[in-house]
Amino acid sequence: MGNPAQFNLPETIALLERTPAAFGALLRGLPDIWTQRNEGGDTWSAFDVIGHLIHGERTDWMPRAQIILKHGETRAFEPFDRLGHVAEIGGKSLAYLLDEFDRLRQENLTALRTLNLQPEDLARRGRHPALGLVALSELFATWAVHDLTHFHQVSRVMAHQYRAAVGPWSAYVGVLQCAGHSAPQRGGDR
C-alpha cells in the first residue's frame, strides 16, 4: 500500500475534475475569517489560492502540454508567474473566483480529453526553464498534486486562525505543527 503508483491519465483526470467542487463545498459562503485571512506577512489566504489556481489554468498546465506536443524538447516553457493571481483577484468575490476556476478547469479537461493522448504521447518530453527535461505524464501528475498541495495549504491557513482558540489542544492537532513547505526562492509550490 505504501508504494507510489504509476501515472494513469483517467485516474489523474478523476482527481482534477473534482477539485473545483471540493474547494467550492469547503469555501463557498464561509465567513471571511476562514477565507480572507492569511498566515501573516505576504502569505496567502484561501481567496488568494483560488486566484492562483485560476492563473495556473490560464497559463500553466494545458499551455505547457501544448508546448510539449508542438515543440518537444526544443522550446522551454514560459516561467510561471507566482504573482499572476494578483491580477485575477482584484475586485472579485470569492464566489466569482470559484465559478471561474470551475469553468476554466472544465474547459481544460475537455481539451485534454479531446487530445486522446496515447502512452507514447505521455512519454514525450519538454524543457522546463529550471528543471530541465520533463515528461508530459509528469506535467499532468504535477497538475493533480499541485491541487493537493493547495488543499494542504488552505487547510493549514484556515487552521492557523484558531491557533489560540483551541487552547491546550494545539499540541494534539497536527495541522498546527505544520510550518509550510513552500520555498519561494526556488519557485514555491511550483
> According to CB under 8 A, which residues from 94 to 153 bind a copy of itself?
128, 131-132, 134-135, 137-139, 141-142, 144-146, 148-149, 151-153
Nearer to a copy of itself, 108 or 146 (CB): 146
6 is an interface residue for a copy of itself by CB under 8 A: yes
Nearer to a copy of itself, 108 or 153 (CB): 153
The least distance separating a copy of itself from the CB of residue 162, rounded to whole angstroms, comes to 5
Sole window of 50-58, 89-97, 110-118, 163-171 interacting with a copy of itself (rule: CB under 8 A)? 163-171
String of contacts with a copy of itself for each residue 14-53, x by CB under 8 A: xx--xx-xx-xxxx-xxx-xx-xxxxxx-x-x--------
DSSP for the chain, written as a single string: --SPPPP-HHHHHHHHTTHHHHHHHHHTT--HHHHT--SSTTPPPHHHHHHHHHHHHHHTHHHHHHHHHHHGGGSBPPPP-TTTHHHHHTT--HHHHHHHHHHHHHHHHHHHHHH---HHHHT-EEEETTTEEEEHHHHHHHHHHHHHHHHHHHHHHHHHTTTTTTGGGGGT-GGGG------GGGTTT-
Q: If binding means CB under 8 A, how many residues of this protein chain bind a copy of itself?
A: 82
Please give the residues from 73 up to 92 whose contact with a copy of itself meets the rule CB under 8 A: none
